[in-house]
Structure 1
Amino acid sequence: MNDFLKYAISQGASDFHIALGNNPVMRIHGELIPVDYPPIAAMESQRILIEILNDQQLAALGKQKNVDFCYKVPGIGRFRTNVFVQRHGIDAVFRIIPQKVPVFDSIGLPQNMRELAHYHQGMILVTGPSGCGKTTTLAALVDLINETRSAHIITIEDPIEYVHGNKVALINQREVNSHTETFSSALRASLREDPDVILVGEMRDLETVRMAITAAETGHLVLTTLHTTNAASSIDRIIGTFPPEEQWQVRIMISESLKAIITQVLLPTIDKKGVIPAFEILVVTQAIAALIREGKTFQIPSIQQTSQHLGMSLLDQSLLKLVQDKKVNPMSAFAKAFKKELIEPFLESK
């Protein structure tokens, strides 16, 4: 297994798949590329995957039929790993975690977003589809806080991906299943651990969402993620998590605690030698807060479109600029755009 992973790193892959009955597969710049290796047989799959699991992980696989963990190979790297049972046997996906913690200036966010690191309370959401770089953006924000503030940062992750050393800040990193049972239990405990900043890897359930909002309301900066495609839908997703009788109160709480939403997607560069992010940014102003309270989130995009001077933007605006600057293929941007008519003229000219 380690030889496979070493090869994947050498090829610049972001993910490596063990798929029973098929060649191993790498994802490189968003494209799935088969490895020149014979199809994986059932016995080989079981052997190479079972041997990397400890007893706790093996028990979880037997009970839940899938298990998440961070696989560490000294001298090679760290991998966010999911081993799962499918109809033919056992498969696995390894996400390659870069060795270095990303710095803010490397992730492509506008410079005015550096101000997010100076917030002392509230919630900052990073959203987008799986594999779009949410974890990288959060890691860069944590690193920026680590460099600039004397703060106690607690991260709750499943699993721990980027490993942060203490700089100006003090950082404690906790992994679900290894250091705590659930996101919500770790989040509840963190409020008694004198935190300034709490990173929650993902808000998966009502209790975690509730605790994250409580932490943001009680003087802590909460950084977290959702699998949503734009700012307005992110707000609706949070509110919709709660029972109907609580939603009016949650709207008020969100309008007061939410500070910013960063939505992102990744696109292959025009030369196909890498990927580049496109961002949608929402900064919660008084006008945005009023729309949240009044249940008028459908009006938020119009304010984003006209508030670029405040650092806001829509995803479509970011995609359009990447096309105009000839950084991405128009067809790639067209596939990600909401208002596809913005990109269509570039397809026709091409």
Structure 2
Amino acid sequence: MDTFNASNQILFSAAEKGQTAEVLLRFVASIGATAVHVTVGAPPLVRVDGELRRIRDLAAAGDDRGREAADFLSANPLWGAVVTPAAAWRAAAELFARPEQRERFEKTGIVRFVKSLPGVTRYLVTVFRQRGNPAVVCRSLGWGVPTLEDVFRHLPEAREAAERLLAAGEGLVLVAGPAGSGREATLAAVVDFINGASPRHVVTVEDPIRYLHRHGRGVVNQREVGEDVESFESGVRSAVESDADVIAAGDVPDAGTADAVVAAAEGGRLVLCAVRAASAEEAIGRVAGLLPESAGSGARRRLAAVLRGVVVQKTLPANGGHGPVVTAAGVLPAVPPLKEALLDGDAAKMAALLRSGTVEGAFPLERALAKLAASGVVDRAEAESRAGDAELFWRFLKLY
């Protein structure tokens, strides 16, 4: 098995010299791909228009992208071939910017960090161990900070609902979505909105820091887990001590963090949290279940008292498979009937309320999916497959 030497490098052979991971990432950016996967036993895969493709398959097309892919492989045949263990170790070693990143990978088997290519783009890099070798996934972040207009590009009603939700100066707002749905981008867009709307002290706790905020009317301090703070829990608790008006946490991984974010909201702060969940009710249930005394009503009572609402989102391929993925997002304020269902521990009642479309100020995910399908932005079958309630999806579809 390959290992890293003292200089954190594995040397290239004469034939492979110049065929670096950076060269691959520059190519990925040049063709407008959003991600690249490097795994032993398969050729590198790039995500184009929402689908993973082999570079050789792209090169077989006769369009401009295909010609660029063909030219790239002609100069860099290594990245068209099946990835060897040596190539995977070399790519990982090249991407590590600091010894601590390598050490974290060797200790835990996974590490995430941001790689900047000046003048090109920024990548969120994940290196993880599989079958004894590293696998590398690089996802494009771009340079700018996402805005609410970006997130709700085709859904102005949802954007307006989100802005109303964020107008409150305190409470807990959850940003929910499954893996790969762009929760962190939406959280960054929310921070950007708050940063431009009022002079407040915003503290983010992230792992890693994905988007770099500039100070707006207030101040944004960004803290990275493992670099600036020990954990999400310690980051949230220290933000309270730092006189934060707004706290944004990129994850709620454990009971300590759940307790910290609810306590911060109880103290009169606006707290924003990204939660991996497929629905709003699942996100609420997950946070409630992590809180101390989750077996009783104490945790639900604490959460109900501070919950302001949930933004829930999923991504879909653009209609026809061309163009960037589309975000469907719903916004659900925590109205009194929802809080009553939470207090009762009635998940079915929560789900029915959240999806009903009758809650004042709400824009359910099913309605967002229906509008995107009706306007031709996404395929109707794809939209229906993302709906938690297909019957409700079709009911909303008739409105458009």
The structure 2 residue matched to 1:102, chosen from 146, 150, 169, is 146
Higher mean alpha-carbon deviation, 5-14 vs 160-169, is at 5-14
* Rounded Cα–Cα distance in structure 2 between residues aligned with 1:286 and 1:197: 24
1:280 equivalent to 2:330? Answer yes
Alignment partner of 2:243 out of 183, 189, 194: 194
- Please tell me whether residue 14 in structure 1 is matched to residue 34 in structure 2: yes
Note the 1:138-177 alignment, pairs <5 A: 138-177=187-226
1:278 Cα offset (Å)? 1.6
Alignment partner of 1:127 out of 176, 179, 182:
176
2:367 is equivalent to residue 317 of structure 1: yes
Counterpart selection for 2:90 from 12, 29, 47: 47
Of 253, 265, 275, the residue aligned with 1:204 is 253
The CA distance in 2 between the partners of 1:245 and 1:171, in whole Å, is 33
- Contact 1:150 1:169 (C-alpha < 8 Å) held by counterparts: yes
Q: Aligned equivalents of 1:121 and 1:76: distance in 2?
A: 38
Give the 3 Å change call, closer, same or farther, for CA 145–245 of structure 1 in structure 2.
Answer: closer
Query: Is the aligned partner of 1:80 residue 2:100?
Result: no
Q: CA deviation at 1:58?
A: 1.2
CA contact (8 A) 2:161 2:362 kept: no
For structure 1, which segment, 314-323 or 152-161, has the greater mean C-alpha deviation from structure 2 after superposition? 314-323
| SS of residue in 2 equivalent to 1:51 | helix
- Deviation of residue 245 (structure 1)? 5.8
Shift of 1:343: 6.4
**Deviation (angstroms), 1:188:** 1.4
| Deviations 1:39-72, CA, capped at 9 Å, x for gaps | 2211122112112222111111111111111222
The SS at the match of 1:142 is: helix
SS in 1 for 2:244: coil
| Equivalence for 1:4 | 24
Correspondent of 1:228 among 254, 273, 277? 277
Q: Does residue 1:111 correspond to 2:131, yes or no?
A: no
Q: Please state how far the C-alpha of 1:243 moved relative to its aligned partner.
A: 5.2
Q: Which runs of 5+ in 1 are unaligned?
A: 346-350
Q: Which moved more, 1:166-175 or 1:21-30?
A: 21-30
Pairwise CA distance, 1:246: 5.5
Secondary structure of 2:297 counterpart? helix
Provide the C-alpha distance between the structure 2 equivalents of 1:7 and 1:271, rounded to a whole number of angstroms. Answer: 24
Q: RMSD of aligned C-alpha atoms?
A: 2.0
Distance across 1 between alignment mates of 2:351 and 2:36: 37
1:99-153 superposed Cα distances (whole Å, 9 cap, x missing partner): 1112222211332321233221111101111111211111111111111110000
Shift, 1:200, TM fit: 0.4
Q: What residue is the counterpart of 2:113 in the other structure?
A: 69
Q: Aligned pair 1:35/2:42, yes or no?
A: no
- When structure 1 is superposed on structure 2, of 188-197 and 325-334 the one drifting more is 325-334
Larger radius of gyration: 2
**TM-score, normalised on structure 2?**
0.81
SS at structure 2 position matched to 1:262: strand
Shift of 1:307: 4.5
Unaligned runs of 5+ in 2: 1-20, 57-79, 153-157, 396-400
Moved more, 135-144 or 297-306: 297-306
The equivalent of 1:136 in structure 2 is 185
State the shift of 1:341 in Å. Answer: 4.9
Q: Tell me if structure 2 keeps the 8 A contact 1:283–1:312.
A: yes
* CA distance 1:85–1:305, shift in 2 (3 Å): closer
Does residue 180 of the first structure (1) align with residue 229 of the second (2)? yes
TM-score (norm 1): 0.93
Do residues 335 (structure 1) and 355 (structure 2) align? no
Equivalences, count = 345
Q: Matches of 1:263 and 1:176 in 2, distance apart?
A: 24
CA 1:123–1:342 in 2, change beyond 3 Å: closer, same or farther? closer
SS for the counterpart of 2:81 is coil
Distance 1:342 1:198 in 2: 34
- AA aligned to 2:92 is L
Deviation for aligned residue 1:195: 0.2
Matching residue of 1:348: none
3-state SS of paired residue (1:223) = strand
Is 1:302 the counterpart of 2:349? The answer is no
* CA 246–194 in structure 1, closer or farther in 2 if over 3 Å, else same: farther
Higher mean C-alpha displacement, 106-115 vs 140-149? 106-115
SS of residue in 2 equivalent to 1:110? helix
TM-fit CA distance, 1:283 = 0.4
Gap change, CA 1:343 and 1:312, over 3 Å in 2:
closer
Give the stretch that moved more between structures: 151-160 or 60-69: 60-69
The separation in 1 between residues aligned to 2:393 and 2:168, in whole angstroms, is 36
Question: Secondary structure of the equivalent of 2:241?
Answer: coil
Compute the displacement of 1:274 (Å). 2.4
**Whole-Å Cα distance in 2 between the matches of residues 151 and 286 of structure 1?**
28
In 2: Cα distance, 1:288 partner to 1:340 partner: 21
How far did residue 281 of structure 1 move?
A: 2.3
